[in-house]
Structure 1
Amino acid sequence: MPTVYITAPPEAADELAETLVEERLAACVNRLSTTSTYRWEGELHRDDEVVLLAKTTDDAYDALVDRVRDSHPYDVPCIERFDESDVLESFAAWRTERVD
C-alpha cells in the first residue's frame, strides 16, 4: 500500500487534496505546512509549501499520479511513492474500502 508524498503551493494544496479524496484516488490526504529551499532554473528559492501525504492503493496509484500531474500548478511536481512494508491491518482495510 503506497503513501504518496506530494508538495504543492498553499493556494493549490487544499483543492488538490480534496480532489484526490472526492475522486476516490486517496482514502485520506494529510496536509503539513513547510518551507522549502531549492534550486530552480539556476536560482536559489525559498517558498512556503504544503506537503500532501496521500494514502492510496496499488490499483489507484497510477490514476492518482496522472490526476496530480494534470492539476498541479508546477511544471515539475514532486510526486514520490513510499510503500509501507508494515501497516496495521485495520488501517489497510479502511484505506482499501475508501479508494477501490
Structure 2
Amino acid sequence: METMEAPDPCCVVMTSLDNEAAAEALAQELVEAQLAACVQVLPIRSFYVWQGESRREAEYLLLIKTRAALYPALETFIRAHHPYDIPELLQLPVTAGSADYLQWLRAGTRGDAV
C-alpha cells in the first residue's frame, strides 16, 4: 500500500453532467488527453438549490482518477468543455491506495503539470 507521502500524489476529481452522451464524451476526451487514467460515469440523482429554486435532476457523475499536479489543467479543460455555468469541480486527495494501481494511474496520465 502506498500512502500520501508519495512524491507524485494522486487524486479523484468529481464533476457531473445532465446528459449521458455528453458525460461519456467528456470522459473519453479526458482519457485521450491523458488528463485522467480512468473516468467512471455513474447515473445519479442530484438535489440542490439553483437561482433560488429547489431542483431534483438526473445527472451523470464522473469520477476522474488523475495526478494532483494535473488538477489545474484538468479544471481548465473541464470548464472549456462543460455546459454548466458553474460546473461541479471537486478534488479529493487519495491518502492511500494499492501501489501497483497508483503506478498504473501515473503511467496513464501525462507527465507534465501544465
* Residue 12 (structure 1) aligned with residue 17 (structure 2): no
Show structure 2 runs of 5+ residues with no match. Answer: 1-9
TM-score, normalization: structure 2?
0.84
Question: What's the counterpart of residue 52 of structure 2?
Answer: 42
Unaligned runs of 5+ in 1: none
Corresponding residue for 1:28?
38
Q: How does 1:55-74 map to 2 (within 5 A)?
A: 55-74=65-84
TM-score (norm 1): 0.95
User: In terms of Rg, which structure is larger?
Assistant: 2
Sequence identity, in percent? Answer: 35
Determine which structure has the larger helix proportion and give its number: 1
Amino acid at match of 1:6: T
Name the structure 1 match of 2:86.
76
One-letter code aligned to 1:5: M
User: What secondary structure does 1:93 align onto?
Assistant: helix
Q: What amino acid is aligned across from residue 2 of structure 1 in structure 2?
A: C
Q: Give the number of aligned pairs.
A: 100
